[in-house]
Structure 1
Amino acid sequence: MCKRLNQHTLSVVSLIAGEYILLACHICCIPRTPRAQSVPHSGNLFYDCGRRVQVKMKGIVDELHYTVDLLEGGTALSDVIDNHIYEQTLTQKNAFFVADLGVILSQHVRWRTRMGEIRPFYPVRCNSSSAVIELLAALGCGFICANKYELELIKGFGVSSADIILGGMCKQLSLIKYAAKSNVDHLLCDNETELRKIARCHPKARVLLQVAVAPSAEGDGLAMTFGSTLKDCRHLLECAKELELQVVGAKFHVSSGCQDPEMYVHAVSDARCVFDMGKELGFHMTMLDIGGGFSGSDTQLEKVHAALRPMLDIYFPPSCGVSLLAEPGSYYVSSAFMLAVNVIAKKVVARDRQQQRHDGVCASDEPEFLYYMNDGVYGSFAYKLLEESIPAPTVHKVVSPEEPLFSSSLWGPSMDGLDQVVESCLLPELSVGDWLLFANTGANSLGATASDEHKPPVFYMVSASDWYEMQDLGISLDTSMKNFSLVPYSLPSGPLTTTVSTPA
C-alpha cells in the first residue's frame, strides 16, 4: 500500500549532459536506508543517504558522480539561488543559470487553456537544454530544427520524425539529405532555389510555404525578409507541381515586436489564399503554421487569441481538416530561467552631470560606474543582438533603502566595445565579487551548439505541486523522462545572503 511520508519533502538533483536538475517533491513509499545504501526506484531515480552515487543515463553519458543530500521540509527558488551563489563564492565564482521547470509546465497549461486547438512546435534554437527538450517532448510538443545538430538532439530523445519540422529558408544540401535519411519529411521553403534543392535531395519531402507578412505600423524591418508574397507563392506552387513535390501547408510569422494583433487577421487571410491556390493546382494542403512571436505575456496571448480565433473559424474551421500549429519559443522558456553573474572589475569613468534624475535625486556630484561581469554578449547575453535592451539586474546582497543609487553600465569580460550588456541603469555601488541576477534569460541564451564547454551550468528546480501536476499529465520517470536521474538535494545550514531589487 502506498502512503506518503508525513510532509517529507526532498529536493532531487539530476545531472543531464552537464546540467543539474533540482526537484523539490514529496516522495511516496520510499523507506529510509542506511547511509551507504542506495535504493533504485522508478527507472533511473535513486534515493541515497550516502554522499556519492553512480548513475547511468541512457543516450547521454555512461556514468556520473555527484553529491547527494536529503532535504527536510520545503525549499524556494530564492533559497536555491542563495545556495549556489554561496558555493560559487567559495570556489570559482562562475556564472550559472537557475531555472524552474514548473514555469515551463505552467506556460504549457496556459497554452492548452487558451490555444488548445493549436499544437505547439518548439524552436530548438531558442533553448536546447536537455531538460527543457525532454520535458517539452513529454508534454507532447513538436519541434522546429534548423541544423543537423538540432535534428540529432531531438531524435536522440526518441521524438517521432512526424513531430519534427526542418526550418530555415537557406539549407545546405547536406542538411536536406540528412533530413531525408532521418525520415524528417516536413520542410519549410520560401523561394524557388530552395524548392529545387529539396526536389533534388529529398523528393519525398512535404513542403510548407512561408508566406510573407506585411510590415506593421511599428516598422518591423524584417517582416518582408522571410516569406513569399502571394504572387510568388503561386509561382512556387506551380514550380512544385512541375518538380512533383508535395506542398502540404503554409506558414506565416508575426514578430513578437508587433503590437498590432490585426496583423494576424491579414496573415490568416493571406494563408487562406495560398491554400485556395494550392487546391486549384491539385495539392492537398492540411497544415497551417501560425509561427512564433509569443512573448510569454498572458495579456499578449489573450490579444493574439482574440484576433486569431474569429479568423480561424472563418477560414480554417475544424471541418476543413487543417491541422493548426504554432512555434512558441520564448513563451515557454524565457521567464523560467535566471542568470547569476559575478562582478569581476569596476571603473569610475566620469561625473554624472544630469540636473535631475527621474527619481528626484540630484546627481551632479555622483560618480558613474562601469562594472565588468564574468559573462557577456559573447556568451549568455548573445540575445542582446536581437533585442533593444536588457533590463537592469537584481543585486544579490542586502542593500539599505537609504543607500544611494548611481548611474551604472554593465559589460562583459572581453573588453570589447560591443560587449555592453546594459547601457545605463541605477545601482548601489558594487564591489568586485558581488553577484547580479538577470531574470527572463531562458530564450536565445542556451541555443544548440556542437560544444557546451563554455556554457554556464544550469540548475533546475520544480515545486512539489508542479511535480505532481506533471505526474497528473502522465509524465513519469519510467516512460516520459527516462533520462532524468534524480537524487536528494539539501541546502546548507549556514546563513545565506538575500536578494534585493533595484530600480532600473
Structure 2
Amino acid sequence: MELIKEIAVLESGRSAWQAMEQMINSGIQDAFFVMDVGEIVRRHHEWKLKLPSVEPFYAVKCNDSPMVLEVLNALGTGFDCASEGECAKVLAMGADPSRIIFANTVKPASHINFVAKAGVATLTFDNEEELYKIQALYPSAKLVIRIRCDASSAQCVLGMKFGVEVEDAFPLLETARALGLDVVGVSFHVGSGCSDPPVFQRAIQAARGLFDAAKRIGFEFTLLDIGGGFPGNKDSSLDNIADVVNSALKEFFPVGCGVRVIAEPGRFYVASAYTLATLIHSKRRVKNKDGTNSFMYYINDGIYGSFNCLKYDHAVVKPIPLKRSKANKEPAIGTIWGPTCDGEDQVTGPLMLPEMEIGDWFVFENMGAYTLPISCGFNGMPVPEVNAFADEKTLLELKNITTLNKKNDL
C-alpha cells in the first residue's frame, strides 16, 4: 500500500486530536482535516465482531479518498460502486472485480460497457427498462433485484428514487427470466443513517419471500445485500441494528443455507475518522434590541466545501470552540458562517457560544461522510487538505496485511 507512506506516525500516547492541536499551534491558517486511520481499522474490527456473517462492501460514494480506499482494500472489504468512475478507481488499486457490486439500479450504457469489459459481474436493477438495456449490453451479468423497504426514520431517504415495490418484484423477475438473464439475489437499502433498526427485520423477511418465489420460476438465488444505513458518529452504536440483523438472518437465512450476505456500509467506516479544524478569520458584533450583543463568526470553510453535508446529507454539526486567545468573556449568542459571498452559506447557529476572537478555531467532529467528495471551489475558496495519522500499532497491522496479500498473490 503505497499511500501508507503518507500517514504520519503518532507518538506513543498521543491522539489524532493532539496532533491537530499541534498543527494549530504551529501557526497554520487554512482549514484542514485530521484523519485517524486507526479509527477506520477499529471500525472494521467492530463490524467483523458484531456482524460476523455479513461481508462489508464499502460505499465508495461516501468518501472516495484514495487513502480510505487503500486502507479498506488492505483490510479486505468489498466495494459498493455507483459509476464507471468509482469502479475504475477501485480496480486501479488492484481490487478484484469479484469484490465490487455495481449498486446503481439505473446505469448509463457506457458504464455498463465498462464494467462488462472490466469483469465486474454483479449489477443491481429495479425496473424493466434496465433489464432490456442489460440484456442488450451485458447479458452474462449476475443481477440483483433491489426492492424497496424504507425506514420510518433515516437521515437520507432513498426509496423514492430506487427499489421496486415488493408486490411488483415477482413480475420483474418473470421478465428477467423471459430475457434469459441471470438474477442471483436480492438487495435493499432502508435509507442512509437509519434510526429504525426493526426495518431490517422487515426487509430481510421480504427478501426471504422473494427468494422462495424466485425458485418457483427456476432461479437459485445465492446473494442477499442488506444495503447501508449503519451509523458512524462517535456517539452512535451499531449494537441495535446488529441485534436485529443477526436475529433476522438466523431466522430467514441461517448459516449454511448457501446464501452469501453482504452490506454496503459507508458512514459507519469513515464518519468518526475525520475531524475538521476551521479558523475564525472575521467577526461581526450585532446589537440586539434588548441591548445585548450577539456575534457572527466567519470561518474558512462552508457549505460549498466540507459543510455541503448540511444540505445534501441533512447533517447536524456541533462546533467545538478551540480558543487561542486569552480572553475570558461571557457566553453569547453566535452564528457561524462560511467564507463565500452566498448569503445562504451559514454553517450553524444561532446558539450560545463563548465569545470568540479572530484567530480562534472551531473544531467539528464526525466529518468523514459525504463531505469531501461533494466539495467544490466556489468563490475560489480552497478545499481543506487531509492530514492522515495513525499509531504504530495500526501501521504495523496494515503493513503486515499488505505483505501477506502480496505473498498470496505470488
Alignment check: 8 A CA contact 2:158 2:189 kept: no
Give 3-state SS (helix, strand or coil) of 2:401's partner. Answer: coil
Alignment of 1:275 onto 2:211? yes
The one-letter amino acid paired with 1:140 is G
Summarize the alignment of residues 220-369 of structure 1 with structure 2, pairs less than 5 Å apart.
222-296=158-232, 300-351=237-288, 364-369=290-295
Counterpart CA distance in 1 for 2:96 and 2:157 is 36
Match of 2:117 in 1: 181
Deviations, residues 240-296 of structure 1 (Å, cap 9, x unaligned): 112211111111112245433221111111101111122111112111011111113
Structure 2 residues not aligned, in runs of 5+:
none
Query: For residues 279 and 325 of structure 2, what CA distance do their matches in structure 1 show?
Result: 17
Q: 1:457 aligned to 2:394? A: no
Q: Kindly tell me: are residues 130 and 257 of structure 1, through their superposed partners in 2, closer, same or farther at Cα, counting changes over 3 Å?
A: closer
State the alpha-carbon separation in 2 of the partners of residues 464 and 279 from structure 1.
Answer: 51
Give the alignment partner of residue 417 of structure 1, picking from 331, 343, 347: 343
Say which SS state the counterpart of residue 318 (structure 1) adopts. coil
Counterpart selection for 2:23 from 52, 59, 84: 84
Contact in 1 for aligned 2:156/2:313 (Cα 8 Å): no
The residue type paired with residue 172 of structure 1 is P
Find the partner of 1:396 among 315, 322, 333: 322
Partner of 1:29: none
Q: Per the alignment, do residues 221 and 98 of structure 1 end up closer, same or farther by CA in structure 2, a change over 3 Å counting?
A: closer
Determine helix, strand or coil for the equivalent of 1:319: coil
Q: Distance in 2 between matches of 1:22 and 1:347?
A: 37
Q: Which position in structure 2 is the counterpart of 1:444?
A: 370
Over the matched positions of the two proteins, sequence identity in percent amounts to 36
User: How much does 1:167 deviate?
Assistant: 1.9
The alpha-carbon deviation at position 319 of structure 1 amounts to: 2.3
**1:171 corresponding residue in structure 2:** 107
- TM-score, length basis structure 1: 0.74
Contact between 2:157 and 2:192, CA under 8 Å: does it hold in 1? Answer: no
Kindly state the Cα deviation for residue 233 of structure 1 after the two structures are TM-superposed.
1.0
- Deviation at residue 16 of structure 1 after TM alignment: 4.5
Distance in 2 between the 1:82 and 1:344 partners? Answer: 18
Describe the superposition over 1:16-43 as per-residue Cα deviations: whole angstroms up to 9, x where unpaired: 59x9421237xxxxxxxxxxxxxxxxxx
Aligned partner of 1:405 among 331, 351, 354: 331
| Aligned residues: CA RMSD | 2.9
SS at match of 1:325: strand
Distance change >3 Å, CA 15–CA 449, structure 1 → 2: farther
Q: CA deviation at 1:163?
A: 0.3
Bigger radius of gyration, 1 or 2? 1
The number of aligned residues is 403
Cα displacement (A) at 1:224: 4.3
Change (3 A) 1:218 1:207: closer
Q: Which digits, 9 at most, give the CA deviation of each residue in 1:199-219, with x for residues without a partner?
A: 222111111111101452789
Letter in 1 for 2:70: E
Larger helix percent = 2
Tell whether the 8 Å contact from 1:149 to 1:449 is kept in structure 2 after alignment.
Answer: no
| 1:377 correspondence with 2:377 | no
Larger mean Cα displacement after TM superposition, 441-450 or 378-387? 441-450
- What's 2:75 paired with? 139
Deviates most, 153-162 or 278-287: 278-287
Write the letter of the residue equivalent to 2:104. G
* Separation in structure 2 between the aligned mates of residue 141 and residue 232 of structure 1, nearest angstrom: 32
8 Å Cα contact 2:324-2:361 kept in structure 1:
no
Task: Give the Å deviation of 1:76.
Answer: 3.0
Moved more, 326-335 or 374-383: 374-383
Query: Residue by residue, what CA displacement relative to the aligned partner does 1:155-200 show, whole Å, maximum 9, x if unpaired?
Result: 1110000001112222111111111111111111111122222222
8 Å CA contact 1:124, 1:447 repeated in 2: no
**Cα 1:245–1:219 shift into 2, 3 Å:** same
**Partner Cα distance (1:113, 1:312) in 2:** 16
Secondary structure at the counterpart of residue 316 of structure 2: coil
How big is each residue's C-alpha offset from its partner over 1:455-495, in whole Å with a ceiling of 9 and x where there is no partner? 32111111233334445xx42468569xxxxxxxxxxxxxx
Report the counterpart of residue 434 of structure 1 in structure 2: 360
Residues 40-189 of structure 1: matches in 2 within 5 Å? 75-87=14-26, 89=28, 93-189=29-125
Query: Displacement of 1:398 after TM fit?
Result: 4.8
Q: Tell me, in whole angstroms, the C-alpha distance in 2 between the residues paired with 1:290 and 1:270.
A: 11
Deviations 1:291-337 (A, max 9, x none): 11111368642111221222211211122200001111100110011
Select the structure with the greater relative contact order (CA < 8 A; seq sep ≥ 6). Answer: 1
CA–CA distance in 1 between the matches of 2:43 and 2:71?
Answer: 12
* Stretch of structure 1 that moved more, 412-421 or 263-272: 412-421
- Verify the 8 A CA contact 2:147 2:166 in the aligned structure 1: yes
- Note if contact 1:405-1:429 (Cα within 8 Å) is conserved in structure 2: yes
**Helix, strand or coil: the match of 2:30?**
coil
2:8 to 22, 27, 30: 22
Q: Secondary structure at the match of 1:285?
A: coil
Contact 1:128 1:448 in 2 (8 A): no
CA distance, structure 1, for counterparts of residue 209 and residue 264 of structure 2: 22
Does the 8 Å CA contact 1:210/1:251 hold for their aligned counterparts? yes
